[in-house]
Chains A and B, each alone.
Chain A
Amino acid sequence: MTKLVTLTIDGMQVSVPEGTLVVDAAKKIGIEIPVFCYHPKMEPVGMCRMCLVEIGRPVIDRSTGQPVLEDDGSPKIQFSPNLETACTTPVGAGMVVLGATEKARSGREDIIEFLLTSHPLDCPICDKGGECPLQNLTIKYGSGQSRYLYDEKKHFVKHVSLGELIFLDRERCIQCGRCVRFQSEIVDDPVIGFFHRGRALEIVTYSNPGFDSYFSGNTTDICPVGALTTADFRFGARPWELNKAASICNHCPVGCNLTMNVRREAASGGDWVVKRVMPRQNESVNEIWVCDKGRFGYHFAASSSNDQTSFKRLSQPLVRKNAGSDHPGELVPASWDEALSVVSERFAEAGDGLLALAGGRLANEDLFNLKQLTTTLGGEAVLYTHMAGGELTTQLGIQPGSDIGTMGQGDAILVVACDLMEEAPIWWLRVKQAAERGSQLIILNSRSTKLDQAAAFVLRYPFGAETSAVLAMLNALSEKRLRLPEAVQVLERDPTLQAAAEVFSGANNALIMYGSDCIGLTESQALAQACANLLDATGHVGRPNNGLLGVWPRANDQGAWELGFQTQTKLEDALGAAAALYIVAADPAGDDPTYLGQSGFGGKAFVVVQDLYLTQTARLADVVLPAQSWIERDGSFTSGERRAQRFYPVIPPRTAPVSRAESPSTNKAPLLIAGDEVMESPLPDFAITAMITLRIDSEARITASSAARVFNQMAETVPAFSDQTYLELAQVHEQWPIVGRDDLYYGGTSYENTGGLGMQLALNTSDTPSTTRLAGTTVEFIRMPKLGQIAFPIARLYDRGKTLMPSQLLHERIGEPYIVLNVNDAEMLRIQDGDVVHMTVANREPDSPDRVTTGQTVVVQARLDQELPERVVLVPRSFGIPIDKPTPVEIRRTE
C-alpha cells in the first residue's frame, strides 16, 4: 500500500500517493495547471516552464523535528522566492500550492509571450487550430499584446517531410520534446531527435525511410502545437467540422479503441467519408495510443469509381447466368430477392454438404449467425486461418480481470513464435512496458525480433522446433521428461532455458503469448498444446493475468474460436468435396492458387461468396453477395485478450446508385428511395446469413433484424458471452490519465472513451482442457532438406491485405513482394541483394521425398540477411506469395 500524502492546492485539500507530481494531483481534483512539455505518460523534463506555481512547504523545527506553528496554531508555511515547475515537483505532506496568484499568472503570461516570439500566425490554416493547446492556453493565460516586433520573427521551413507519413512545420515547434521523448521513452524507436540548439533547434529524422516507426502518428496527437501533422489528414478539414463515432480497429487482434472522425465531402459526391482515425482511451487495451496501420488503414470502405477496380466495393448481388457446358456464363446484377432464393434453394439441397468458410475480420454477430446456419443445415463452419489452437485459449486463455498493463514485478510473460511488433504493435508496447515494470520477459523464437531488447531471457530454437522448445522448458521443470528430437536437446541443456523455466514457474502470474511466426496450421496447434501443458504444469491457469493468449492473424479470430469454429488442415480437399460453399470475408482462390483444385474452384460445389469486393474467389462464384464493411454498421469484436468490444456505425451504408429515372423523386438527388431499391445495397453479414437461413427454415432461431438482437441470442446460447449485453459493453468508468475533455493540453488529442470499455469473456469450463494429450507422443520438427530451401512465413504489419491496400498512403511502406535469403545461399545461387528471383513451391511427395512436383512460381525481390541459417527463406504473409506454412521451395535467379 503506497503512503498517501495530503497537500493543499488553491485552497483544496487532496490526498494522493507519495511521489505523485503536483500537476497530476491538481488534475485529479479538477484544478488546471497548464503544461506543454509534461505528459502524464512520460517522465517530466521541466523544459517549457508553463506549469509555474508558487509552492510553500511547512517549516520544520530542526531541533524537535516538529512543524513550526503560527500564532493561531496553523503550521507555518514558507514559500520559496521563485516560482516552481509543478510538473517536476513531487507532492510533500502539508505542501501548499498556489496556481491562481498574480505571481503565477504573470509568470505564465511571460512564458507564453516568449513562446510566441517565434511562433507564426498560422492558426487559420493550421491543422491543430481548434484543438491546439498553444492556441487555447494563449487565449486563457496569454496577455493579448506582445512586446516583440512581428517583423523580427524567425522564419523557418514550413513543409519538412519526416517521411511520407508525417510532416513537420519548423516554425510551429515549441521545442517541448514530447515527440522525441515519446519515440525514445515510450516506443523505444528513437528515429527522431533534436538537432542544433536554441532558436535554430529542429526535429530531424535519423531513419530511412524517414520517421520509420509504427507509432509515428501518435506524436501528432501529443504535439501541443501543429508542428507535426499527418500526411493523411493534412488540410483535410477543421477539427470542429468533424463528427465522431466510436469504433474498433479491425487490423489485428489487439482491438484498439478508435474514434473515427467523419464529414460529408463534396469531392465524394456529398457522401459521408472518414477523415481521420484517432485513438480512443482504453487503458486496458491501447491506452491512448494506436499504431499507424490502425490510424492510416481506414480507406477500405470508400470506393469511388475512380479507384482501381480491385478496390471497388460490391454494391448489389450478382448471380451467374447463361452458363453452358462449354462456357462458365457471367455474373449479372440481380435483386436480393432473386439472389437469396437461389442461394437458399441450393443450400437446402446441399444440406450437410455445406461448408461455411469465414474470415476472422467478421464480427461476433456474423460468425454466430453463420454457425446457426450450419447448425440448422448440419454443415461445417470453418475458420479461414493459418493459426490454430484457439479452443485452448477459450479454456485456458486469459479471463476477466486480466490486463497486461497491471503486470509487473513478480510476473512473467513468455512470448513464443511471435514477432509482436509486426503482428500486434500495441501488444508489443504493452509487453515491453510490463517488462520495464519488472515482469520477467522470456522470448522463444527462431530469429531475432524487436522485442528481444526488452527481454530478460532470449532463447533461440532451430527453425521449425518451436513446440520442442516449449516442451524443453516443461522438461526442465518436471520429472516426467518427454523425449525431444536431437537438435533440440542442446537447447534443453542450456542453463538459460533452465533459468527461464524456473522464473516462469515461480512467477506470481504468467502469460504465454504464442503466434504463428514461421509456422502454419498444424505446427501452431502443436505449439498451443505445448504451451497449454506448460501453463497447466506450472499452475498458471484460471486466474486473472494467467493463461494462453493467441496472437491471431485477424482481428476477430478469437471470436470465432469462442463460437466454436474449427480449422481445416486439408482445406483444398474440403473445398473440393463440399456440395455447397459459403465463403464469407475470405479469398482462398486469390491467396493460393492450389485452392483452385483440379476441376476449378470448389469442384462441382455451388459457390456463394459474400465480401466487400469482387475478389478472385468472388469472380469464380455462382452467387456474390455484397456485405457492409464494419464501419457502416454496428456489432462487436472479441480481441485476443478475450475482450468483447462494441463498434458503432461510422458512415451510412452505401446504397447502389439509383438512376434519376428510377428515382421516385424528381429532385436532382434521390432524396427518397423506395423500399425495394434500398435492398440492392450491401447488407450486414449477419443479416444476409439470417435471411438465407430463414428462407430455408422459417422456424430457425436466427435473426436478421439487428446486431443487438443477434448478440442477445448469442448470450443465451454461448456460455462465454452469457453475462454480456450491449449495454454492459458500452459501460465506461473513470480512467487515468484524464484525456479528451476540454483539456487537450494535458494528454493530447486522443478521445475520451464514451462508447464502452468492453468486457472480458468468462472461461469455457464445460469442456475439460486437453492438456495431457501431448504426453508420450513423439515430437516432430521440421528437418532442413539437403537440397533446396524451406520457406517460412513471417508477418509484416504493412502487408498487401485486402483491407489495407486501399490506403494508398501506405503503399511506399508496404513495398513489393520480397523474400529474405541467407547470404551464403544467395551466393551459391548467384543472387544479390535486391535481385528479382523466381521462387517455385516444391511439393515433395510424402512417400518418396525425392520426387518433386513443382507448383506455383512467383517472381519476387530477394533481400539478404546474414543472421538467417542456411536453407531458410523468410516469406512475408499476405503479399500474394502462397506460403502459409513451412514449405519447400526452389529459388532461381531471374536471367
Chain B
Amino acid sequence: MFAIELARGLYTTWREMFNKPVTIQYPDQRRPVYRRFKGRHSLHRYDNGLEKCIGCSLCAAACPADAIFVESAENTNAARFSPGERYASTYEINMLRCIYCGYCEDACPTEAIVLGDNYELSFTDRHDAIYTKEMLLEALPEGGSLTPQEVKPGVYTRSVPEMKDPVD
C-alpha cells in the first residue's frame, strides 16, 4: 500500500521535473502585464513638456479611497505649468490607500493621470507611500522643456485645453 502511494507521489515529482517551470526569476525576469492592468499612476505631459494636469481635483472627487489630494494655482505666461488657466501646485497620491480601481483615470478631463504597469511598490515608512507630483510626473519627452515654462502671451488662452473625444 505504502509503496504504491510513494510511487504515485514521486511520479508527480518526476513528471514536473521535465515540465517547463511556471515561476520566473523575478526581478531579472518580469512577466508582461495585461493590456488593461492598472499599476502605479503617472502624470503625463504634452510633447512640449507642459503638464496635462489642470488641477481640477476631479480625480480626487472620483476616488473611492480618498487617496488623492490636489491643490491648484493659476498659470501665468511667465510661469506656465499647463496649457490651461489652472495647474496642480500640489498633487499627492497615497499609495497605501489606493485600490488601483482607475476611477481617477476615468474622471480626468485631460487624460493626465494614467495608471501604468508598475506594480513594484514598497515602503518602509507610511510617509513614503505618499507620492508627490515630482514622483508622479513622467519623464520629459524629447524636445520638451521643464515646467514652469515662460511662454509668449496669447498662445494659451483657453481655460481647459481643447480635447479630442477619447478613442478607446
Asked if A718 CB lies within 8 Å of chain B CBs, one says no
Q: What is the CA–CA distance of A237 and B90 in the complex, to the nearest angstrom?
A: 12
Q: Which listed segment binds A: B17-25, B34-42, B51-59, B94-102?
A: B51-59
Query: In the complex, which residues of chain B have a beta carbon less than 8 angstroms from the beta carbon of A159?
Result: 85
| Contact B56–A234 (Cβ < 8 Å) | no
Asked if A125 CB lies within 8 Å of chain B CBs, one says yes
Using an 8 Å CB-CB cutoff, how does the interface string of A94-125 with B read, 1 for contact, 0 for none? 00000000000000000000000000111011
Min CB gap B160→A, angstroms: 6
Query: In the complex, which residues of chain B have a beta carbon less than 8 angstroms from the beta carbon of A235?
Result: 55, 72-74, 85-86
Query: In the complex, which residues of chain A have a beta carbon less than 8 angstroms from the beta carbon of B71?
Result: 237, 265-267
Asked if B131 CB lies within 8 Å of chain A CBs, one says no
Query: In the complex, which residues of chain A have a beta carbon less than 8 angstroms from the beta carbon of B86?
Result: 125, 235
Given contacts A265-B71, A266-B92, A668-B127, contact A125 B60 (CB under 8 A): no
Asked if B158 CB lies within 8 Å of chain A CBs, one says yes
| Contact B157–A240 (Cβ < 8 Å) | no
| Contact B57–A238 (Cβ < 8 Å) | yes
| Contact A267–B60 (Cβ < 8 Å) | no
Asked if A4 CB lies within 8 Å of chain B CBs, one says no
Total A-B pairs, Cβ < 8 A: 58
Asked if B109 CB lies within 8 Å of chain A CBs, one says yes
| Contact A238–B69 (Cβ < 8 Å) | no
Q: What is the CA–CA distance of A236 and B70 in the complex, to the nearest angstrom?
A: 10
| Contact B74–A234 (Cβ < 8 Å) | yes
Asked if B49 CB lies within 8 Å of chain A CBs, one says no
Number of residues from B at the complex interface, CB < 8 A = 25
Query: In the complex, which residues of chain A have a beta carbon less than 8 angstroms from the beta carbon of B90?
Result: 266-267
Min CB gap B117→A, angstroms: 27
Q: What is the CA–CA distance of A670 and B90 in the complex, to the nearest angstrom?
A: 22
Using an 8 Å CB-CB cutoff, how does the interface string of B132-168 with A read, 1 for contact, 0 for none? 0000000000000000000000000111100000000
Given contacts A120-B159, A235-B55, A235-B74, contact A125 B127 (CB under 8 A): no
Asked if B89 CB lies within 8 Å of chain A CBs, one says yes
Min CB gap A160→B, angstroms: 12
Asked if B61 CB lies within 8 Å of chain A CBs, one says yes
Asked if A591 CB lies within 8 Å of chain B CBs, one says no
| Contact A267–B89 (Cβ < 8 Å) | yes
Using an 8 Å CB-CB cutoff, how does the interface string of A765-781 with B read, 1 for contact, 0 for none? 00000000000000000
Min CB gap B148→A, angstroms: 16
Q: What is the CA–CA distance of A169 and B157 in the complex, to the nearest angstrom?
A: 12
| Contact B84–A125 (Cβ < 8 Å) | yes
Asked if A158 CB lies within 8 Å of chain B CBs, one says yes
Min CB gap B141→A, angstroms: 23
Min CB gap B11→A, angstroms: 56
Query: In the complex, which residues of chain A have a beta carbon less than 8 angstroms from the beta carbon of B58?
Result: 124
| Contact B54–A124 (Cβ < 8 Å) | yes
Asked if A126 CB lies within 8 Å of chain B CBs, one says yes
Asked if A241 CB lies within 8 Å of chain B CBs, one says yes
Q: What is the CA–CA distance of A169 and B58 in the complex, to the nearest angstrom?
A: 21
Q: What is the CA–CA distance of A265 and B92 in the complex, to the nearest angstrom?
A: 12
Q: What is the CA–CA distance of A125 and B86 in the complex, to the nearest angstrom?
A: 7
Given contacts A158-B85, A266-B92, contact A125 B55 (CB under 8 A): yes
B73, B85, B89, B127: residue with the most chain A Cβ atoms closer than 10 Å: B85
A120, A121, A129: residue with the most chain B Cβ atoms closer than 10 Å: A121
A122, A125, A129, A237: residue with the most chain B Cβ atoms closer than 10 Å: A125
Given contacts A234-B74, A238-B57, A241-B57, contact A122 B160 (CB under 8 A): yes
Task: Give the nearest-CB partner of B107 in chain A.
Answer: A124
Query: In the complex, which residues of chain B have a beta carbon less than 8 angstroms from the beta carbon of A126?
Result: 159
Task: Give the nearest-CB partner of B125 in chain A.
Answer: A668
| Contact A266–B69 (Cβ < 8 Å) | yes
Q: What is the CA–CA distance of A169 and B60 in the complex, to the nearest angstrom?
A: 25
Task: Give the nearest-CB partner of B72 in chain A.
Answer: A235
Min CB gap A574→B, angstroms: 50
Q: What is the CA–CA distance of A241 and B61 in the complex, to the nearest angstrom?
A: 8
Q: What is the CA–CA distance of A265 and B74 in the complex, to the nearest angstrom?
A: 16
Q: What is the CA–CA distance of A206 and B71 in the complex, to the nearest angstrom?
A: 35
Task: Give the nearest-CB partner of A124 in chain B.
Answer: B56
Query: In the complex, which residues of chain A have a beta carbon less than 8 angstroms from the beta carbon of B55?
Result: 125, 235
B-contacting residues, A200-254, CB 8 Å: 234-238, 240-241
A-contacting residues, B43-81, CB 8 Å: 54-58, 60-61, 69, 71-74
Q: What is the CA–CA distance of A169 and B89 in the complex, to the nearest angstrom?
A: 22
Task: Give the nearest-CB partner of A156 in chain B.
Answer: B157
Task: Give the nearest-CB partner of B132 in chain A.
Answer: A266
Q: What is the CA–CA distance of A672 and B92 in the complex, to the nearest angstrom?
A: 24
Query: In the complex, which residues of chain A have a beta carbon less than 8 angstroms from the beta carbon of B61?
Result: 238, 240-241
Task: Give the nearest-CB partner of A234 in chain B.
Answer: B74
Q: What is the CA–CA distance of A636 and B84 in the complex, to the nearest angstrom?
A: 44
B56, B109, B110: residue with the most chain A Cβ atoms closer than 10 Å: B56
Query: In the complex, which residues of chain B have a beta carbon less than 8 angstroms from the beta carbon of A237?
Result: 57, 71-72
Task: Give the nearest-CB partner of A266 in chain B.
Answer: B90
Min CB gap A200→B, angstroms: 17
Min CB gap B56→A, angstroms: 4
| Contact A125–B56 (Cβ < 8 Å) | yes
Query: In the complex, which residues of chain A have a beta carbon less than 8 angstroms from the beta carbon of B160?
Result: 120-122, 124-125
Min CB gap B87→A, angstroms: 9
Given contacts A158-B85, A238-B57, contact A125 B159 (CB under 8 A): yes
Q: What is the CA–CA distance of A129 and B159 in the complex, to the nearest angstrom?
A: 13
B-contacting residues, A150-207, CB 8 Å: 155, 157-159, 169
Task: Give the nearest-CB partner of A127 in chain B.
Answer: B86
| Contact B60–A241 (Cβ < 8 Å) | yes
Given contacts A120-B158, A237-B57, A265-B71, 19 further A-B contacts (CB under 8 A): A120-B159, A122-B159, A124-B54, A124-B56, A124-B110, A125-B56, A125-B84, A125-B85, A125-B160, A159-B85, A169-B159, A235-B55, A235-B86, A236-B72, A238-B61, A241-B57, A241-B61, A266-B92, A267-B89
A contact residues vs B (CB 8 Å cutoff): 120-122, 124-126, 129, 155, 157-159, 169, 234-238, 240-241, 265-267, 668
A-B contact list, 6 entries, CB within 8 Å: A122-B160, A129-B56, A155-B157, A158-B159, A237-B72, A267-B71
Closest 10 CB pairs of A and B: A124-B56, A266-B90, A122-B159, A125-B86, A124-B109, A238-B57, A235-B72, A235-B86, A125-B56, A235-B74
